């Protein structure tokens, strides 16, 4: 056997392993780990000022676990259990999800996002000890240097404001139907984004939009009842302002709250709080889609899988729901988004050409 034959066999082996690995990654199904959920309450935990819901991969094997900090709807008022199905899926791939929430907070100071620093500090100092004490996630090694910020609805305003102050260890942002402003009418001048300007931080970002975001829950009353995500205050407003590598995926058949667990979807439909998909449209597939896109984005950004997994964010034919995709490259740097990313921050907005 000559050298060329040996080299060919070795190359074939590597290609086989590569192709097998790429084919094995299917973000729209559950990952290799079980997921456990735990709620920690401010009243019984020193230095914790918010309730936090936590999902962690439940394994005895050692697993490096990047952390997704999530700010839920209504600027962080929704509890994490509203998103249980999605976060169980994300956690099953080895990630830890932390969602802080609180009732009765000061909405002005809440929207500046700085309170997230206190949550992150508590998580770094205490969460692993709490999880070990509760006997869950024993093998999960919480990676506080690989952090993502996620949000839904008005939580998008909070996470953007946080990143406008500083990036810390945040490697990427995930914005689910983000909404800017203090109120849905846009009457109060409290906005995170100035249209026509880039933000002052550059970071890989994923925007998960709904085709029915701008549909009102109660129609026929003119401007008395606004949509939960008015067109001028949501989605494209954020996409246009982000100077980094950004994907916008629009699930065209779904409404603003359809990503939530069914109890909360039923409440939205009963109250007509937001526009919602017809009952014939399956929510299970949509929640699998959302969880899978989050897993793909974080895995791709950190280089945890082969770069070709970006196809799950860019090729609608691979997605379990009807979708359209926009993608833009960074206007600040040419770094490969498939490698471990870092946030570039400056005090002034990046120049907009």
**The domain that contains 89 carries what CATH number?**
3.40.50.1820
Q: Residue holding tokens 């740097």?
A: 333
Inside any domain, residue 16:
no
Instruction: Give 43-47's long-range contacts (Cβ < 8 A, gap of 24+).
Output: 45/122, 45/126, 45/130, 47/118, 47/121, 47/122, 47/125, 47/126
Inside any domain, residue 35:
yes
Inside any domain, residue 8:
no
Inside any domain, residue 298:
yes
Residue 112, pLDDT score: 82
Instruction: Give 216-221's long-range contacts (Cβ < 8 A, gap of 24+).
Output: 216/275, 217/268, 217/271, 217/272, 217/273, 217/274, 217/275, 217/276, 218/272
What are the strands, taking DSSP E only, across 254-353?
A: 323-328, 344-345
The pairing of strands 63-71 and 96-101 is parallel
Tell me if the pTM is above 0.75: yes
Structure tokens at 119: 């949550």
Q: Residue holding tokens 């246009």?
A: 240
Instruction: Give 123-129's long-range contacts (Cβ < 8 A, gap of 24+).
Output: 123/52, 123/67, 123/69, 123/98, 125/47, 126/45, 126/47, 126/48, 127/40, 127/54, 127/98
Inside any domain, residue 23:
no
Number of domains into which the chain is organized: 1
pLDDT tens-digit profile, the chain (353 residues): 444 444 444 444 444 444 444 458 999 999 999 999 999 998 888 889 889 999 999 999 999 999 999 999 888 888 899 999 999 999 999 999 999 997 655 556 678 889 999 999 999 999 999 999 999 999 999 999 999 999 999 999 999 999 999 999 999 999 999 999 876 666 677 899 999 999 999 999 999 999 999 998 776 554 556 888 899 999 999 999 999 999 999 999 999 999 999 998 989 888 888 888 988 899 999 999 999 999 999 999 999 999 999 999 999 999 999 999 999 999 987 766 576 678 899 999 999 87
User: Residue 327: beta bridge partners?
Assistant: 247
Residue 47, pLDDT score: 87
Alpha helices of 170-234 — where are they, by DSSP H?
none
Structure tokens at 186: 């846009």
Inside any domain, residue 17:
no
Inside any domain, residue 261:
yes
Q: Residue 209: name the closest of 159, 259, 249, 160 by CA.
A: 249
Helices 84-91 and 283-302 cross at an angle (nearest 10°) of 40
**85: containing domain:** 30-345
Q: Residue holding tokens 């709904």?
A: 210
Inside any domain, residue 351:
no
């Amino acid at each position: 056997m000559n050298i060329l034959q040996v080299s060919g066999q070795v190359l074939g082996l590597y290609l086989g392993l590569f192709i097998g690995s790429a084919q094995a990654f299917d973000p729209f199904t559950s990952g290799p780990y079980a997921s456990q959920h735990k709620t920690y309450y401010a009243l019984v935990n020193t230095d914790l000022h918010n309730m936090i819901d936590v999902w962690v991969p439940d394994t005895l094997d050692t697993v490096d676990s990047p952390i997704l900090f999530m700010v839920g709807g209504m600027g962080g008022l929704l509890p994490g259990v509203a998103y249980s199905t999605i976060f169980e899926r994300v956690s099953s791939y080895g990630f830890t999800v932390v969602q802080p929430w609180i009732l009765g907070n000061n909405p002005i100071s809440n929207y500046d996002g700085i309170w997230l620093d206190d949550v992150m500090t508590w998580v770094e100092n205490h969460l692993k000890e709490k999880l070990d004490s509760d006997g869950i996630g024993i093998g999960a090694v919480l990676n506080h240097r690989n952090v993502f910020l996620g949000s839904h609805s008005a939580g998008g305003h909070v996470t953007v404001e946080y990143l406008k102050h500083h990036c810390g260890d945040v490697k990427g942002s995930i914005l689910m139907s983000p909404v800017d402003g203090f109120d849905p009418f846009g009457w109060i001048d409290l906005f995170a984004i100035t249209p026509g300007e880039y933000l002052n931080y550059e970071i890989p970002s994923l925007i998960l939009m709904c085709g029915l975001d701008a549909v009102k829950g109660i129609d026929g009353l003119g401007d008395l009842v606004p949509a939960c995500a008015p067109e001028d205050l949501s989605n494209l407003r954020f996409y246009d302002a982000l100077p980094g590598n950004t994907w916008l995926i629009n699930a065209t058949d779904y409404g603003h709250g359809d990503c939530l667990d069914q109890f909360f979807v039923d409440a939205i439909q009963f109250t007509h709080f937001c526009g919602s998909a017809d009952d014939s449209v399956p929510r299970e597939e949509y929640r699998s889609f959302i969880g899978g896109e989050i897993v793909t984005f974080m895995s791709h950004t950190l280089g945890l899988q082969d770069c070709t997994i970006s196809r799950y964010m860019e090729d609608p034919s691979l997605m379990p729901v009807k979708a359209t995709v926009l993608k833009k490259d960074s206007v600040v740097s040419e770094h490969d988004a498939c490698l471990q990313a870092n946030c570039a921050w400056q005090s002034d907005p990046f120049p907009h050409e």
